[in-house]
Amino acid sequence: MTLLLGSMLLLMAMGIPVAFAIAVSGASYLLIFESVPITAIAQRMVVGVDSFTLLAIPLFLLAGTLMAKGDITPKIMRLASILVGRIPGGLAMVLVVSCMLFGAISGSGIADVAAIGSIVVPMMRQQKYNMSFTASLLGCAGSLGTIIPPSIVMVVLGVTMGVSIGRLFLAGILPGILLGVGLMALSWYFARKEGYPCGAKPTWPEVAQTLKEAVLPMGAPLIIVVGFRSGIFTATETGAIAALYALVLSAFVYRKLSLRDFWDVCHSVALTSAAVLLIISSASLFGWILALEEIPQKVAQTILSISDNYWVVLLFFNLLLLVLGTFMESIAIIIIIVPVFMPVMKQLGVDPIHLGVMIAVNLAIGANSPPLGVDLMTACKITETRYSDSFRYIYPFLGVMGLVLLLIILFPGVSTWIPNAVIR
């Protein structure tokens, strides 16, 4: 197992894509040590993605991409500007709220960063915002798309943990709001310290027009919440309805989506979905090896032999996730680490919904933590900022996110209250 893990990490360090690093190390282990036929390896990888629930991933990606292509993002931003634009550092506040609202449609942190950043960054540059500050805020705010429903990370967590994706979606609402408020509070501090301006006060006709324009775009999150609350839709069916709703808005209501644009959207979603599902497929092979060698049980026994204290084990688990999140891809972490620790968490009586939210928040922090931080890297590219220049601001923002994570760990009700109240 040391050879298996070592070869996987070595391949990643050499720059081999995560999916191939996991697949090559896993297949090599099975061929050399277990003499498993290569056809069985291929079959196991196919079984790993043979899930109706995983169809939610391309469907939510399609919904978010259609919304972005259909000129709906500016309408969401104008709504955010009405809500928080008058606070000191108004554009920074608009950025955070826009990411929260768009995250309720896209389900992807990187999609959030790209869609919102491409619009708000030029405006912040005009108002003389420090681009290192902007990149750090954009990366952290964009990562809220992995927590606020619908979240692709939550879909993968639900499949891996065997828990209700609907409950996980609902559990992410309050932590997502707390994270957004924390980022806004720190932005307000920097705005006062560095002299960033407030937004212009809107007139009542502008408020009325903005609210009118925002009604239809914000219908997508409403569909998701109502669908889960009423039990009408599964996660996959909700993704299909959201994608259809986004297509109707973009192509027929706003008429911003041509047939050529639709083809480009489908091509982009297919490429992204293929990359995500290849990681899941490769990681399922890795998980099969772990189960074959009874690694989860052995890890559980080892950890519990060191300490069976609830808080000690939970602290160790969260620290491990934070470290792994700095250099590994989120979905790979979920599929490799979660099956190993699930037996331990069950023995300790950790609520699986609480556990899922903790993991999602950890991964959002990891997506902005050097050296790999994919959301932060994307934000730096959009703002044309050197990665190292963002470090001055990123650590205070990560500190705020860490405090919210600590709150979630200490008070499980932060993540379980809404799903318990809504779904009985």
Question: What's the one-letter identity of residue 189?
Answer: Y
Does residue 206 lie within any of the structural domains? yes
**What pLDDT is stored for residue 230 in this prediction?**
66
**What pLDDT is stored for residue 122 in this prediction?**
81
- Going by pLDDT thresholds of 50, 70 and 90, the confidence category of residue 104 is low
Q: Is the dihedral angle over the CA atoms 161, 164, 166, 170 positive or is it negative?
A: negative
Segments forming the whole domain that contains residue 240: 53-422
**What pLDDT is stored for residue 423 in this prediction?**
67
Does residue 398 lie within any of the structural domains? yes
**What pLDDT is stored for residue 296 in this prediction?**
65
Evaluate whether 56 touches 235 at the Cβ level (below 8 Å).
yes
* Model confidence at 116: pLDDT above 80: no
- Going by pLDDT thresholds of 50, 70 and 90, the confidence category of residue 395 is very high
Average pLDDT over residues 123-141: 88
Task: Please name the residues in contact with 21: beta carbons below 8 A apart, sequence gap of 6 or more.
Answer: 8, 11, 12
**What pLDDT is stored for residue 169 in this prediction?**
87
What percent of the chain lies above the pLDDT cut of 70?
Answer: 93
Structure tokens at 21: 């690093």
Count structural domains, the chain.
1
| Locus of tokens 């219908």 | 219
What are the start-end ranges of the E strands in 137-176?
none
Among 111-125, 127-141, 392-406, the minimum mean pLDDT is found in: 111-125
| Cis omega (within 30 of 0) for bond into 370 | no
Distance in angstroms (rounded) separating the CA atoms of residues 296 and 299 = 5
Ranges 189-203, 215-229, 241-255, most confident: 241-255
Does residue 19 lie within any of the structural domains? no
Does residue 413 lie within any of the structural domains? yes
Measure Cα distances from 187 to 150, 209, 252, 315, 360 in Å. 26, 28, 38, 28, 23
Average pLDDT over residues 210-227: 76
- Going by pLDDT thresholds of 50, 70 and 90, the confidence category of residue 359 is very high
Question: pTM for this one?
Answer: 0.79
What confidence tens digit (pLDDT) does each residue in 8-52 have?
Answer: 778 877 878 777 888 888 888 888 887 888 888 888 888 878 877
Distance in angstroms (rounded) separating the CA atoms of residues 119 and 271 = 24
What confidence tens digit (pLDDT) does each residue in 175-187 have?
Answer: 999 999 999 999 9
Task: Please name the residues in contact with 117: beta carbons below 8 A apart, sequence gap of 6 or more.
Answer: 138, 142, 378, 379, 382, 383
Mean pLDDT of the chain: 82
Q: Which of 15, 1, 43 is nearest to 327 (CA)?
A: 15
**What pLDDT is stored for residue 171 in this prediction?**
92
Give the dihedral of Cα atoms 318, 323, 324, 327; nearest 10 deg: 150
Q: Which of 242, 200, 266 is nearest to 60 (CA)?
A: 242
Average pLDDT over residues 64-80: 76
Evaluate whether 240 touches 52 at the Cβ level (below 8 Å).
no
* Model confidence at 333: pLDDT above 70: yes
**What pLDDT is stored for residue 204 in this prediction?**
78
Question: In a 3-state reduction of DSSP, which class is residue 237?
Answer: helix
What confidence tens digit (pLDDT) does each residue in 250-275 have?
Answer: 888 888 888 888 999 899 888 878 87
Does residue 318 lie within any of the structural domains? yes
Question: In a 3-state reduction of DSSP, which class is residue 15?
Answer: coil
Does residue 371 lie within any of the structural domains? yes
Ranges 183-187, 206-210, 232-236, 257-261, most confident: 183-187
What confidence tens digit (pLDDT) does each residue in 307-332 have?
Answer: 878 888 888 888 888 877 776 777 77
The string of DSSP letters for 92-113 reads HHHHHHHHHHHHHHH--HHHHH
Specify the higher pLDDT residue, 392 or 88: 392
**What pLDDT is stored for residue 68 in this prediction?**
72
* Model confidence at 228: pLDDT above 70: no
Distance in angstroms (rounded) separating the CA atoms of residues 226 and 229 = 5
**What pLDDT is stored for residue 424 in this prediction?**
60
Distance in angstroms (rounded) separating the CA atoms of residues 252 and 112 = 24
Distance in angstroms (rounded) separating the CA atoms of residues 298 and 170 = 33
Question: In a 3-state reduction of DSSP, which class is residue 51?
Answer: coil
Average pLDDT over residues 401-419: 93
Does residue 355 lie within any of the structural domains? yes
